[in-house]
């Protein structure tokens, strides 16, 4: 299991208005638990001791909430002066993340494990000799809240490429392991992680692992009720 993880939590959450007029999106409660804590709790159960969380919007509220956690130990990557997007946020945090492979999680997606915890499955499947990224993928049939197209298709060896117009692929589940060498030479400044995804795919080092369980994304206020209903149905509501 990687010893460190980054949780991407700096977005503005504009699609979640009006709730996000007074609170950052990662603190919006789902079944009584702030969105970000679903991911942080999964990292804690997996034994990941150190997590970096980037903050930008309403940063004082985020810092206060994160400061109340005992585990995992949270270090803040402060982006209040400039929002760096997903890839730029990781680049800024690299000095805090170290030289070993680390996990990256979105703050507004989470999942319910079926049998073996998915973070443990991901860690066991990771092979740094073959991979620069190993991404957790969701089946649209086992997802709640997803309204767009599928993102990736997988070959027989687990390598990923963009789905394009295909309808039979997987959803990016907002979780992956990455080797920091993929960011070598990347300049500071805003950019999307899609740059790293495409770079890894072009070199044949972009792999996926289908999630064993149910995946939930909460992008708008209207997505909260279906998410909470799914958690009750799965017996996962607190």
The structure tokens 């079944």 sit at 31
> What does the CA dihedral 59, 62, 67, 72 come to, rounded to 10 degrees?
-120
**Distance between CA 236 and CA 30 in Å, rounded?**
11
pLDDT, tens digit (0-9, with 9 covering 90-100), for 131-181: 999 999 999 999 998 988 999 999 999 999 999 888 889 999 999 999 999
In Å, how far are 51, 75, 82, 126, 196 from 92, measured between CA atoms? 14, 13, 11, 24, 15
Tell me the percentage of the chain whose pLDDT exceeds 90: 84
DSSP 116: S
The residue-averaged pLDDT of 217-238 equals: 92
pLDDT category at 16 given cuts 50, 70, 90 is confident
**Res. 220: pLDDT tops 80:** yes
Indicate the average pLDDT of the chain: 94
* Sheet arrangement for strand 50-55: 73-78, 50-55, 4-8, 102-106, 171-178, 133-138, 206-210
Question: Which residues are within 8 A (CB) of 58 and not within 5 positions of it... i.e. 6 or more apart?
Answer: 23, 24
The residue-averaged pLDDT of 95-113 equals: 96
Structural domains in the chain plus CATH codes: 4-233 (3.90.550.10)
**Distance between CA 150 and CA 172 in Å, rounded?**
8
């Amino acid at each position: 299991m990687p010893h460190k993880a980054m949780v991407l939590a700096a977005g503005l959450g504009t699609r979640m208005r009006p709730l996000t007029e007074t609170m950052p999106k990662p603190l919006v409660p789902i079944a009584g638990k702030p969105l970000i804590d679903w991911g942080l709790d999964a990292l804690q159960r997996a034994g990941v001791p150190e997590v970096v969380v980037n903050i930008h919007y309403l940063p004082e509220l985020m810092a206060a909430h994160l400061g109340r956690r005992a585990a995992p130990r949270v270090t803040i990557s402060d982006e209040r002066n400039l929002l760096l997007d997903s890839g730029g946020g990781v680049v800024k945090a690299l000095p805090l993340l170290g030289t070993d492979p680390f996990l990256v999680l979105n703050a507004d997606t989470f999942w319910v494990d079926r049998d073996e915890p998915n973070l443990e499955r991901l860690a066991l499947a990771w092979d740094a000799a073959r991979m620069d990224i190993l991404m957790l993928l969701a089946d649209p049939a086992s997802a709640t809240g997803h309204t767009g197209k599928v993102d990736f298709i997988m070959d027989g060896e687990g390598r990923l490429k963009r789905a394009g117009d295909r309808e039979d692929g997987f959803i990016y589940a907002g979780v992956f392991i990455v080797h920091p060498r993929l960011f070598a030479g990347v300049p500071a400044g805003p950019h999307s992680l899609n740059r790293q995804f495409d770079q890894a795919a072009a070199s044949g080092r972009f792999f996926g692992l289908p999630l064993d369980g149910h995946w939930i994304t909460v992008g708008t206020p209207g997505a909260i009720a279906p998410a909470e209903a799914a958690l009750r149905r799965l017996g996962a509501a607190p």
